[in-house]
Amino acid sequence: MPYTAEISRANPSCFLFLIDQSGSMEDPIPSSAGAASEGPSASGPTRTKAEGVADAINRLLQNLVIKCAKSEGVRDYYHVGVLGYGGAVKPAFGGALAGKELVPISEIANSPARVEERSKKVDDGAGGLVEQKVKFPIWFDAIANGGTPMCEALNRAQAILTDWLTQHSGCFPPIVINITDGESTDGDPSSAADKIKSLTSDDGGVLLFNLHLSSQRAAPIEFPDSEAGLPDKYAQLLFRMSSPLPEYMRGIAQQEGFAVSENTRGFVFNADMVSVIRFLDIGTRPSNLR
């Protein structure tokens, strides 16, 4: 049965994030777009797509680290890479992690570029809200330059994962999350995407999910099961490139209140993808955990 391999320190899985840092990411996104609007990182109405990408990747990494954190430290359930694509396709981490393609999640936890303190409104338990100071780690700032070599980025991802799978053949299949405005400048990325999805571990195929940040004024869309209703050709292309959610993820998504079907794909439009982190099963997660 696919997608049932245990994720553990002895048998870690892998996350590879592809972040679009091209010049087109300087365009603004509508203020209602929700890539990060729910979290402490919400910023003003003139947010650019590049800022949306930075917020999205910072929040994904933050949530993945927290998921793996225990009282004694962070357990290396995942090895994680972030590839930036714009002027060049290259590992995007700076500082101690500069140049590394995949690093254990504990190293990422301990190497943010900086930790900001932000205010967050939280339930006060008596029907009101109180402001609470929370620490928000930043690994990436907004970058926008060059073209959008998405095909090259996907090909590089395929090479990295091919190596990973050779060494971790029994792992829970790696997940690739591509955060982009979808406007590839080096050709149609569909076949490069197919090649990534054709990679497998003993437990199933690599999953490719897409987070589409767009300047289009259209309502956010989360995990659709059809391309009908998607606002433009880029969204439709990214939807087609995205893997269907495996059965176990659909089950959790359903428990979390998402309407899902067998055709539901790992695609969101101007919305948050942090929920994917909650779909991962590394052990008991209380249903009343906020």
**128 in contact with another protein (CB under 8 A):** no
**10 in contact with another protein (CB under 8 A):** yes
Q: Are 234 and 199 in contact (CB under 8 A)?
A: no
User: 74: exposed, middle or buried (C-beta count within 10 Å: 0-12, 13-18, 19+)?
Assistant: buried
**200 in contact with another protein (CB under 8 A):** no
Give the CA dihedral 65, 71, 72, 76, nearest 10 degrees: -30
Q: Which of 97, 102, 109, 221 binds another protein (CB under 8 A)?
A: 109
Q: Which of 145, 169, 255, 263 binds another protein (CB under 8 A)?
A: 255
> Nearer Cβ to another protein, position 163 or 256?
256
> Nearer Cβ to another protein, position 86 or 137?
137
Q: Which of 115, 167, 257, 262 binds another protein (CB under 8 A)?
A: 115
CA distance 7 to 54: 27
**218 in contact with another protein (CB under 8 A):** no
**167 in contact with another protein (CB under 8 A):** no
Length of the chain (residues): 290
Question: Bridge-partner residues for 20, per DSSP?
Answer: 85
Q: Are 13 and 7 in contact (CB under 8 A)?
A: yes
Q: How far is the CB of 273 from another protein (least distance, A)?
A: 19
State the binding string over 36-75 for another protein (x if CB under 8 A, else -). Answer: --------------------------x--xxx-xxxx-x-
Q: Are 8 and 133 in contact (CB under 8 A)?
A: no
Of 176, 183, 178, the closest CA to residue 25 belongs to 183
Q: Which residues sit at the interface with another protein, rule CB under 8 A?
A: 1, 4, 6, 8-10, 62, 65-67, 69-72, 74, 109-110, 112, 115, 122-123, 125, 132, 134-135, 137, 252, 255, 281-290
